[in-house]
Structure 1
Amino acid sequence: MEKITLTVDHSILTNARKAARKKNRARFMNKMKKNKAAVAGGIIIALYLLIFLIGPLLAPYDPYDVQLEQKLQAPSLEHLMGTDDKGRDIFSRILYGSRLSIGVGFSAVLFGGTIGTILGLIAGYYGKWIDSIISRILDIMLAFPGILLALAIVSALGPSLINVTIAVGFFSIPMFARIVRGSTMEVKKLEYIDAVKTLGANDFTILAKHVFPNILSPIIVQASMRLATAILSAAGLSFLGLGAQPPSPEWGAMLSSGRDFIFTAPYMAMFPGIMISILVLGFNLFGDGLRDALDPRMKN
């Protein structure tokens, strides 16, 4: 008889959880739809992701094909964004470069977010001397300006797009770690965590199945905001010659090449700069909307 009662209670609890999740999803979508800035940011991001996926298929020319007889041509029907100093089609290079610029941003945030989340979970859950050691390491990392730390890392590792990804991801670690640490410290005090411990669950199970899912919202918000910073920082490092190397069509490198022709052929720098600016704006708008929709303190 007890088994039947437990089964029924478990079924009721499961249905209640499903209903709560459905209600939360509906509330989230409603808040996002009402936020016009977030909708605009989402549309921008969707368009850029579309370019990321099928951009190279739409490119009318080979982005690496040098045609010196067609160099520095102004935008026209033949070359929508003109040609650079090597005669390469700028529109084609921007389409191909989307995979490099956007890919570096996502990879850097994934790298920094993964390590930062792990460190934050460990520090927040175990506390004591483990928390002290991790917190002091994070404090040291935060003592350096992010772009300066990235410059130092790339200078030590050497200029390349992979090293830029590592450098940008590295200075994203403390941001994720501090947010996750604070959220973990709040969640671990809840009664259901004590109940799970009483049932004999180990620390890994508690962190993976009971703590992490409940702190996912601030991680998602932080990731969306850091994507804008990561893309901008990666483009800045490539602009300085520490990231993508010629003839790579990465947007920051294209912007760097165009600065020498800013008066004679301003479109060389203008179009890559516009692409970077709009993408960063899209992530900032969408990130603000996510924060407003997911932050429980802003539900009312």
Structure 2
Amino acid sequence: MHDVRYELLNPATLGSKQVTYTERRETVLYRLFHDRRAVTAGSVLVLLTIICLLAFLSPYDPNQLSIMDKLHAPSWAHWFGTDDHGRDYFTRILYGGQVSLAVGLLSMLIAVSLGTIVGTVSGYLGGVIDGLFMRFLDVFMSLPSFFILMILNAYLKPSVQNMIIIIGLLSWMDVARIVRSQTMSIKEQEFMLYARSIGVRMWRTIFKHLIPGVMPSIVVAASLNVANAILTESALSFLGLGVQPPASSWGSMLNNAQGYLGTASYLAIFPGVLILIVILSFNVIGDALRDALEPTE
């Protein structure tokens, strides 16, 4: 009987409220698809991702050395030229894009998952638990995360997997703060108060109602987190602490291009421009999502 009464009071199961939620979702989608910036940024990201995933269609081996072909300028045979080892630069750009995008997306999933769990539990329980979580969060945020990331990545064996885990574990704090704030607001609504009064299990309440309620904020934070993760990976690889040869990422390609800025500037231009485009696109999408999710009168 309690479950029935609870479902009747839950906004997600009310007919009139369901219409409201549906209309809101349609409004958000309408805003996004009519925002030229968001459509352009999304199209660019989708196109780049597809092209990078199709890297295996390239006739060149990304790691095959050819000293006779070193540092050839862009041409019909090599669209982006060749690097200092004679490898086709366009092919290495595509495979490097796979690494950079994978690091950004997978580390974002770790950060968002951890931040969502910590934020919802802290905001829902409140009191001493919330105080402990927030003090721990304050300490964590006061640490120079990039230098810690450098130290950990240098101490551990450099690899894409380690980089994904380290970046993810050092970038969840902002997500946790956002989710906690939204959770504390949602938990004071009537159906949540009634759920607690009839003894609905905490985890059921969190996963069924709290997390869907804060999902818009999570989506915005996730889009921005991907951009930050790609930038962090690029910075680490540029410093030689990220992807190790013969594998490549856009950051490691920038690192290799340092010695050829005067003689083969294209080695730095192509990966640099792609990093700029991807980060800018994710930031534009994040801003568009924030605008689209803002409540209207």
TM-score, normalised with respect to structure 2: 0.92
Q: Which residue of 1 aligns with 2:3?
A: none
The alpha carbon displacement at 1:165 in A equals: 1.4
For 2:49 and 2:294, how far apart are their aligned partners in 1? 26
- 2: CA distance, partners of 1:36 / 1:182: 31
Matches within 5 A, 1:65-76: 65-76=64-75
1-side partners of 2:244 and 2:13: how far apart?
Answer: 57
* In 1: Cα distance, 2:59 partner to 2:212 partner: 45
Letter in 1 for 2:48: Y
Shift of 1:60: 2.9
Q: 2-side partners of 1:293 and 1:9: how far apart?
A: 28
Tell me, in whole angstroms, the C-alpha distance in 2 between the residues paired with 1:194 and 1:14: 17
The CA distance in 1 between the partners of 2:9 and 2:186, in whole Å, is 24
Match of 1:276 in 2: 275
Q: In the alignment, which residue of structure 2 is the partner of 1:43?
A: 43
Structure 2 counterpart of 1:117: 116
- Specify the alignment match of 2:284 in structure 1: 285
Q: Is the 8 A contact 1:150 1:170 kept in 2?
A: no
Alignment partner of 1:25 is 2:25: yes
- Which segment is superposed worse, 240-249 or 35-44? 35-44
1:47-58, aligned counterparts within 5 Å? Answer: 47-54=47-54, 56-58=55-57
* Structural mapping, 1:136-147, within 5 Å: 136-147=135-146
Correspondence for 2:4: none
Offset, 1:149? 3.1
| Cα distance in structure 2, aligned partners of 1:9 and 1:115 | 30
Distance 1:290 1:242 in 2: 33
Distance change (3 Å), C-alpha of 1:36 and 1:211? same
Report the equivalent of 2:84. 85
Equivalent residue pairs, number: 290
Pair 1:181-2:171 in alignment: no
> Are 1:164 and 1:237, in contact at CA under 8 Å, matched by a contact in 2?
no
Between the aligned partners of 1:9 and 1:246, the Cα distance in structure 2 is 59
Shift of 1:17: 4.3
Distance in 2 between the 1:250 and 1:8 partners? 53
**Quick one: which amino acid aligns to residue 43 of structure 1?**
S
For the 8 Å contact 1:164–1:242, the answer to whether it is kept is: no
C-alpha distance in 2 between matches for 1:51 and 1:129? 50
Q: Show the 5 A alignment for 1:124-143.
A: 124-143=123-142
Q: 1: distance between equivalents of 2:128 and 2:154?
A: 33
| Partner Cα distance (2:23, 2:89) in 1 | 47
Residue pair 1:71, 1:84 contacting (<8 A) in 2 also: yes
Deviation at 1:116, TM superposition (A): 1.1
Give 1:235 deviation, angstroms: 0.9
- Match of 1:4? none
Identity of aligned residues (%): 38
SS at the partner of 1:248? coil
Change (3 A) 1:35 1:201: same
Displacement, 1:155? 2.9
Deviation at 1:13, TM superposition (A): 5.1
TM-score, with structure 1 as normaliser = 0.91
Q: Is the 8 A contact 1:52 1:102 kept in 2?
A: no
- Helix, strand or coil at the partner of 1:189: coil
Question: Following TM superposition, by how much is the alpha carbon of 1:275 offset from its aligned partner in structure 2, in angstroms?
Answer: 1.1
**Larger displacement relative to structure 2 (33-42 or 224-233):** 33-42
Describe the SS at the equivalent of 1:74: coil
Is 1:157 matched with 2:146? no
Deviation at 1:158, TM superposition (A): 3.8
Cα separation, 2, equivalents of 1:139 and 1:40? 37
- Cα drift, residue 8 of structure 1: 11
Aligned equivalent of 2:98: 99
**How far apart are the structure 1 equivalents of 2:9 and 2:248?**
60
Deviations 1:69-111 (A, max 9, x none): 1000000000000000110000011111221110000111111
Show the 5 A alignment for 1:214-253: 214-253=213-252
Supply the distance in 2 between the matched residues of 1:20 and 1:13 (Cα, whole angstroms).
11
Q: Aligned with 1:150: secondary structure?
A: helix
Q: Which runs of 5+ in 1 are unaligned?
A: 1-6
| Compared CA separation, residues 207 and 261, structure 1 to 2 (3 A) | same
RMSD value, Cα: 2.1
| Per-residue CA distance 1:219-255 (angstroms, 9 max, x = gap) | 1000001111110111110111111001112111111
Q: 1:60 to 1:139 in 2, by over 3 A?
A: same
Note the alpha carbon deviations across 1:22-44, whole angstroms, 9 max, x for none. Answer: 31122112211332222221112
Q: Is the 8 A contact 2:238 2:251 kept in 1?
A: yes
Stretches of structure 2 lacking an aligned partner (at least 5 in a row): 1-6
